[in-house]
């Protein structure tokens, strides 16, 4: 199991999105806790990280595997395509 840590204040940013978009983004973030490399995730070449698409948005994240008893962590940011 992974822990998702956001590098942005999602509550502030999501105020301008529709309820449907918010639900899709939150659902995708929750799913990343269980599978950080889902089908359709694109691994970047030339830098660390992955990208998944959620409707008109993309979530960009990198994975930090658990080190010395720390939980495995995903650091996420997102933006509109």
Q: What CATH number is attached to the domain comprising 47? A: 3.30.2310.20
CA atoms within 13 A on the CB side of 63: 18
Q: Which domain holds residue 58?
A: 3-80
* Total number of domains constituting the chain: 1
The pTM of this model reads: 0.74
Cα separations (Å) of 43 from 2, 14, 40, 52? 18, 25, 10, 9
pLDDT at 63 over 70: yes
Q: What is the pLDDT of residue 80?
A: 59
Q: What is the pLDDT of residue 70?
A: 37
Note the pLDDT tens digit of each residue in 6-60.
776 667 666 777 888 888 888 988 898 888 889 999 998 988 888 888 888 888 8
pLDDT at 65 over 50: yes
Q: What is the pLDDT of residue 53?
A: 87
């Amino acid at each position: 199991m992974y822990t998702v840590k956001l590098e942005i204040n999602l509550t502030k940013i999501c105020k301008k999105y529709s309820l449907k978009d918010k639900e899709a983004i939150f659902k995708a973030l929750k799913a990343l806790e269980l599978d950080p490399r889902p089908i359709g995730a694109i691994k970047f070449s030339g830098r660390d990280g992955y990208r998944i698409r959620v409707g008109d948005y993309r979530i960009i994240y990198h994975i930090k595997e658990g080190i010395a008893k720390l939980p495995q962590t995903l650091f996420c940011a997102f933006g509109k395509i």
